[in-house]
Amino acid sequence: MPAFVHPIASKLPRVGTTIFTVMSRLAAEHNAINLSQGFPDFDCAPELRALFTKYVNAGVNQYPPMAGIMPLREAITDKVQALYGATYDPEHEVTVVPGATYGIFTAIATLVHPGDEVLLFEPAYDSYAPAVEVAGGCPVYVQLRYPDYSIDWEAVQRAITPKTRMIVINTPNNPTATVLSGEDLRMLENVLRATDIVVVSDEVYEHIVFDGHRHQSVASFPGLAERSFVVSSFGKTYHVTGWKTGYVLAPRELMAEFRKVHQFNAFVTNSPVQYALAEYMQDRDAYLTLAAFYQKKRDFFLEGVKASRFQPLPSRGTFFQNLCYDRISDENDSDLAIRLTRERGVASIPVSVFYREPPAHRVLRFCFAKSEDTLARGAEILCRL
């Protein structure tokens, strides 16, 4: 094809291919153990697979309703009521979407106008800033305090200006593997009280919180719920990242605006997947046992790297374990992650990609949503460094 000769006014001039695609491709090229991109290397429950084929074979193959099928919306609002004590109307306040990334992007596109400021915490999951920039908004960053990645609420307060339209929070957090406490959410509630700032709360790892702690959802805090889009994903919860299905909760007025945008983008979400999920959600154990399932994997991986020179940072939620490599190398994390993939056969994610400028600390992120065999082989390599 001849080259496109006209100048392209890129909306994302500084953005390349996502680190997840880059590292997974490199891992495949070098036949490395892939602990980089966050997805399970094991399959979902056979019952869930069977439900999907049941609905496909039953002919559930046409457009579902724009906001999602009612049985799934009801299953979601029932769950949120039971776990977080929050009442959402399935008719007007929940929308099923093709993945959490889409939900976040759409919430941002719905409300952010050119010149608006959106508060993000750094390190930030990599889809947030580009979504803000495509909408013409301006990301404004507040640093999480290393090494515990805690939030300085006074810094948040200082970052707010009359142009601040939105704040994006993420708990449990990718890439830091930390969780927000009830106290954090009360601070957020206070900071936002006198403003009309909207919250996008990315809670895709809501069911993966360790050591007996509970996930704190903005849905449980009335002063936050009334101004929040809560975004979650079935991909993490049911080991089906490839199904790309999630949901968004918001008060009726916010959701009405969200649906105006959604109806002209994806419009709907895959119908047989929705029916399968609605039926599967009746079994509450599947998500209530997820934290214990992943805690065991976290502990297995930690035991595996105990003899290594890496220093683990606390992993309180998600399926990621961060390891500091100060004692191993003074290379930057991207170079090290690439070299370990090529030369040692284990792939990870350099945490600096979630910052605008590389931070002083040296950390690699490892995904432990893997079989014990994979984790043991990966850990063995890490112990030899």
Closest to ligand GLN by CB, 20 vs 355, is 20
Q: Which is nearer to ligand GLN, 18 or 311 (CB)?
A: 18
Please report the beta strands in the chain, taking only residues with DSSP state E, as ranges in sequence order.
33-34, 94-97, 117-122, 138-143, 164-170, 198-202, 228-233, 246-249, 311-312, 320-324, 346-347, 349-350, 363-367
For the chain, how many helices (H) and strands (E)?
15, 13
8 Å CB contact between 169 and 180:
yes
177: left (phi over 0), alpha (psi -120 to 50) or beta: left
Q: Which of 38, 103, 317, 378 binds ligand GLN (CB under 6 A)?
A: 38
Which is closer to ligand PMP, CB of 125 or CB of 301? 125
CB of 21 to ligand GLN, least distance (A): 7
Residue ranges in 30-113 assigned as alpha helix (H): 46-57, 70-84, 100-111
Q: Taking the CA atoms of 48, 54, 55 and 61 in sequence, report the sign of the dihedral they define.
A: positive
DSSP single-letter state for residue 197: P
To ligand GLN, the closest distance from the beta carbon of 100 in angstroms equals 9
Minimum distance from CB of 56 to ligand GLN (Å)?
25
Answer with the entry of ligand GLN, ligand PMP, none that 20 interacts with (C-beta below 5 to 8 A by kind): ligand GLN
CA angle 183, 231, 289 (to 5 degrees): 75
* Residue whose structure tokens are 């999602």: 68
Report which of 190, 176, 179, 187 is spatially closest to residue 216, judged by C-alpha positions. 179
How far, in Å, are 71, 81, 193, 238, 239 from residue 285 at the CA level?
Answer: 19, 16, 37, 11, 14
Which of helix, strand or coil describes residue 223?
helix
Binding mask 86-125 for ligand PMP (x = CB under 6 A): -------------xxx-----------------------x
Query: 41: which residues sit within 8 A by CB, 6+ positions away?
Result: 34, 369, 370, 371, 374
Rounded least distance, CB 246 to ligand PMP, Å? 4
Residues 220-239 within binding reach of ligand PMP (CB under 6 A):
233, 235
In the complex, least distance from residue 202 CB atom to ligand PMP, rounded to whole angstroms: 5
Q: Which is nearer to ligand GLN, 37 or 77 (CB)?
A: 37
Name the pairing type of β-strands 33-34 and 346-347.
parallel
What is the C-alpha to C-alpha distance for residues 352 and 359, in angstroms, rounded to an integer? 6
Touching ligand PMP, residues 165-204 (CB under 6 A): 170, 174, 202, 204
Asked if residue 170 binds ligand GLN (CB under 6 A), the reply is no
Residue (121 or 308) nearer to ligand PMP, CB: 121
- The only residue of 18, 143, 220, 311 in contact with ligand GLN, by rule CB under 6 A: 18
* Residues between 173 and 212 with contacts to ligand GLN, criterion CB under 6 A: 174
For tokens 């400021």, the residue is 117
Q: How many residues bind ligand PMP (CB under 6 A)?
A: 14
Q: Per rule CB under 6 A, is residue 68 in the interface with ligand PMP?
A: no
> Does 20 interact with ligand GLN (rule: CB under 6 A)?
yes
Q: How far is the CB of 237 from ligand PMP (least distance, A)?
A: 10
# chain residues binding ligand GLN, by CB under 6 A:
5
Q: How far is the CB of 97 from ligand PMP (least distance, A)?
A: 8
Looking at the Cβ atoms of 20 and 153, the one nearer to ligand GLN is: 20
Going from the C-alpha of 349 to that of each of 35, 123, 242, 330, the distances in angstroms are 8, 13, 20, 17
What's the closest the beta carbon of residue 204 comes to ligand GLN, in angstroms? Answer: 8
CB of 173 to ligand PMP, least distance (A): 7
Judged by CB under 6 A, which of 246, 304, 317, 350 binds ligand PMP? 246
Contact between 355 and ligand GLN by CB under 6 A: the answer reads: no
SS3 221: coil
Q: How far apart are the first and last CA of the chain?
A: 46
- Applying CB under 6 A, the residues found at the interface with ligand PMP are 38, 99-101, 125, 170, 174, 202, 204, 233, 235, 241, 244, 246
Interface positions with ligand GLN (CB under 6 A) = 18, 20, 37-38, 174
